[in-house]
Amino acid sequence: MTCQLQKDGMLEVVSFHKQHNHEFAPSPMKQMLRSNRKITPAQQAFTDDAEKFGVSIKQTIDLLSMQVGGYENLGFLNVDYKNHVNSKRREALKRGDGRAVMDHFRKMQLEDPSYFYSIQLDDDNQILNIFWADSRSIVDYGHFGDVVCFDTTYRTNSYGRPFAPFIGVNHHKQSIVFGAALLYDKTIMSFKWLFEIFLSAMSGKQPKTIFTDQSAAMANAIEDVFPESNHYENEWIVAWNDMLEIYDLTDNPWLREMFDVKEK
């Protein structure tokens, strides 16, 4: 449709092309159009409080949908909310926490020349993933790094990022830390970057066995970066404990010490 402005200020339709038109979106779907989708100030305040208390994105969306009588009444899509949360987290790092992290690592490296850290940045020079290990952790890995437990199910921090430590056991059966990471997400790209940096910090030594939580992305990254390692997920530990129970082997000291998975 083409309009022309008249002398009296009115618009006059001078041409109309029917083939360029389309059906209007049905009323229940209008709010899903990009131009109509938005997170209201009240919803933003609610989500900010949820972030402070560590409520997950999915749980927050569920709560908001209950308040308005269903997901169709939210006024935004899940991806809009995720973008909002990620924007807030990145803004927080940009305001000064990123510089504080860098200052801390530089300070630690001055005190401990063997202190290792690496930071992955995105195209906008914003922090994505972080890994660090002190000299004691690196030495311990050299002695006791044949078996490693890597877990991303620990409680997330104020930025909602997964905290992921590399854990082992020394000759006194004490838990030791080989290094730790703060991840942006749990994608294969983040895991591959982390495992490659871990190898670099540990002079290329791969663990003989690595225990992890259940994650397809993590498993794929381990297969690519740690091809020499035996990988077991939590489901294997559950099966092992079930086997001990079924065959009444829970009191067998050799089996219990073999992987030390019965008591935690």
Tens-digit pLDDT profile for residues 120-166:
987 767 788 999 999 999 999 999 999 999 988 665 555 567 889 99
- 3-class DSSP state of 60: helix
Q: At 67, list the tokens.
A: 């308040």
Share of the chain above pLDDT 70, in %: 66
Tens-digit pLDDT profile for residues 78-113:
778 777 777 766 665 555 566 788 888 999 999 999
- List the domain boundaries for the chain: 2-89, 112-259
Alpha-carbon distances, residue 240 vs 173, 209, 215, 222, 244 (angstroms): 20, 15, 19, 22, 6
CA torsion through residues 7, 9, 12, 17, sign? positive
The CATH number of the structural domain formed by 112-259 is 3.30.420
Tens-digit pLDDT profile for residues 24-41:
555 455 555 555 677 788
223, 253 in Cβ contact below 8 A? Answer: no
Per-residue pLDDT, 85 = 74
Residue 132 CB neighbour total at 10 angstroms: 21
Q: Among the residues of 145-212, which ranges form H helices?
A: 188-201
- Helix 57-68 and helix 41-52, axial crossing angle in degrees, nearest 10: 140
Q: Which of 139, 252, 117 is nearest to 202 (CA)?
A: 139
